[in-house]
Amino acid sequence: MNPTSLMTEPLSTRYVVITPVRDEEEHLTATIESMVRQIVLPKQWIIVNDGSKDGTRAIIDSYAARYSWITAVHRPDRGFRKSGGGVVEAFNAGLAALTVREWDFIAKFDGDLTFGTEYFASCFAEFAADPCLGVGGGVICYFDSDGSKTFEEAPSFHVRGATKIYRRECWEGIGGLLPAPGWDTFDEIKANSLGWKTRSFPHLHLLHHRETGAADGNWRTSVKYGRANYICGYHPLFMLCKCLRRIAQKPYFTGAAGLIYGFVTGYLQRIPQAGDRATIAYLRREQVNRLWGRETIWR
User: Domain check: are 117 and 249 in the same one?
Assistant: no
The answer, yes or no, to whether residue 1 has pLDDT greater than 60, is no
In a domain, 283, yes or no: yes
User: Domain check: are 194 and 252 in the same one?
Assistant: no
User: Domain check: are 203 and 222 in the same one?
Assistant: no
In a domain, 296, yes or no: no
Going by pLDDT thresholds of 50, 70 and 90, the confidence category of residue 84 is: low
Cα(39)–Cα(8) distance, integer angstroms: 12
The answer, yes or no, to whether residue 3 has pLDDT greater than 50, is no
Q: Per residue in 178-196, is it b (16+ CB within 10 Å) or e — as a string?
A: bebbbbbbbbbbbbbbeeb
Q: Is 25 exposed, middle or buried (0-12, 13-18, 19+ CB in 10 A)?
A: middle
In a domain, 131, yes or no: yes
Which has the closest alpha carbon to 298: 131, 222, 185, 213?
185
Which has the closest alpha carbon to 134: 166, 157, 102?
166
- The domain that holds 200 is classified in CATH as 3.90.550.10
Average pLDDT over residues 95-102: 96
pLDDT given at position 4: 39
User: Domain check: are 108 and 253 in the same one?
Assistant: no
Which has the closest alpha carbon to 228: 186, 282, 270?
186
User: Domain check: are 85 and 11 in the same one?
Assistant: yes
In a domain, 140, yes or no: yes
What does residue 248 show for φ and ψ, rounded to 5 degrees? -85, 5
User: Domain check: are 23 and 109 in the same one?
Assistant: yes
Domain that holds residue 177: 3-208
Cα(90)–Cα(47) distance, integer angstroms: 9
The DSSP call for residue 273 is P
Average pLDDT over residues 129-140: 96
Cα(108)–Cα(165) distance, integer angstroms: 7
Domain boundary among 179, 208, 237: 208
Inter-residue contact 188 to 286 (CB < 8 Å): no
User: Domain check: are 224 and 186 in the same one?
Assistant: no
Domain boundary among 208, 230, 253: 208
User: Domain check: are 231 and 146 in the same one?
Assistant: no
What share of the chain in percent tops pLDDT 90? 79
User: Domain check: are 119 and 247 in the same one?
Assistant: no
pLDDT given at position 298: 86
In a domain, 299, yes or no: no
Domain boundary among 177, 208, 239: 208
**C-alpha pair distances (Å), 254 with each of 150, 184, 215, 217, 231:** 22, 23, 17, 11, 21
Cα(173)–Cα(102) distance, integer angstroms: 17
In a domain, 298, yes or no: no
Cα(24)–Cα(44) distance, integer angstroms: 20
User: Domain check: are 202 and 271 in the same one?
Assistant: no
User: Domain check: are 122 and 203 in the same one?
Assistant: yes
In the chain, the number of structural domains is: 2
Inter-residue contact 233 to 274 (CB < 8 Å): yes
The DSSP call for residue 158 is -
Q: CB atoms < 10 A from the CB of 146, how many?
A: 5
Q: pTM for the whole thing?
A: 0.92
In a domain, 235, yes or no: yes
User: Domain check: are 122 and 192 in the same one?
Assistant: yes
